[in-house]
Chains A and B, each alone.
Chain A
Amino acid sequence: QVQLVESGGGLVKPGGSLRLSCAASGFTFSDYYMSWIRQAPGEGLEWVSYISSGSSTIYYADSVKGRFTISRDNAKNSLYLQMNSLRADDTAIYYCARAWRGADYWGQGTLVTVSS
């Protein structure tokens, strides 16, 4: 069965950096686009970024462009999100999702808290 497991969240100070990881299993990871989606406490869903199967196509939401970098390692079945210059409004649960038919499988999420 498809499994997506995020890690790397935690508490970070404003201006700091964090790298999220997502370990995928149960499907051919290299065949699928992948997304990061976040949800601030008590708020709705916000699409953050996606990356094509071969990493040739990458898009970001305007809110993170220039600060976040998505990447993947198909040999390790892993997706990453490097987050720099973090701000308080980046505080959210970050979900890794398989970007098929929208987002057909989601991980459990990892909480990122940006606070001094």
Chain B
Amino acid sequence: DIQMTQSPSSLSASVGDRVTITCRASQVIGTSLAWYQQKPGKVPKLLIYAASTLQSGVPSRFSGSGSGTDFTLTISSLQPEDVATYYCQKYNSAPRTFGQGTKVEIK
């Protein structure tokens, strides 16, 4: 099975900082990669699909890039409401594995 590895596992940044989270697949998955945001005590929310397409209603400060095995989620200017855990997920085939998550906090 393909493994999904996120880094870092947690980060602390200041409001307004550019934040980058990476997700690496153990085999090529094309662009079948989604990113989710889960705020504390809330249901996960789809942010980005097809590696780089912003889901409707998601602020434009979020962006995704990558293909093949290496992917990136970028928050261009971190806001207090972005405090959350972020997950990547492959969905090209089963099992539709998630990364282990990256917890983002405000410094």
Q: Verify A47–B44 contact, CB threshold 8 A.
A: no
- Contacting residues, chain A, for B94 (C-beta < 8 A): 50, 59
Which residue, A46, A59, A101, has most C-beta atoms of chain B within 10 A?
A101
Judge if A55 is at the interface, Cβ distance under 8 Å.
no
Closest Cβ neighbor of B96 among chain A residues: A47
Q: List residues of chain B with CB within 8 A of the CB of A47.
A: 89, 95-98
Is A88 an interface residue, CB under 8 A from the partner?
Answer: no
Closest to A102 in B: B34
Write the nearest CB–CB distance from A6 to chain B, whole angstroms: 11
How many residues of chain A get a CB closer than 8 Å to chain B's CBs?
Answer: 20
State whether A46 touches B43 (Cβ < 8 A).
Answer: no
Q: How many interface residues does B have (CB within 8 Å)? A: 24
Complex Cα spacing A68 to B99, Å:
23
Known: A44-B98, A59-B94. A101 touches B44 (CB 8 A): no
Q: Are B46 and A101 in contact (CB under 8 A)?
A: yes
Which residues in A have their C-beta under 8 angstroms from that of B95? 47, 59, 61-62
With beta carbons under 8 angstroms apart, the residue of A61, A62, A102, A108 that contacts B89 is A102
Interface residues in B1-57 (C-beta closer than 8 Å to A): 1, 34, 36, 38, 43-46, 49-50, 53, 55
Inter-chain contact A108/B43, CB cutoff 8 Å: yes
Query: Is A102 touching B49 in the complex (CB atoms < 8 A)?
Result: yes
Q: Which residues of B contact A (CB under 8 A)?
A: 1, 34, 36, 38, 43-46, 49-50, 53, 55, 85, 87, 89, 91, 94-101
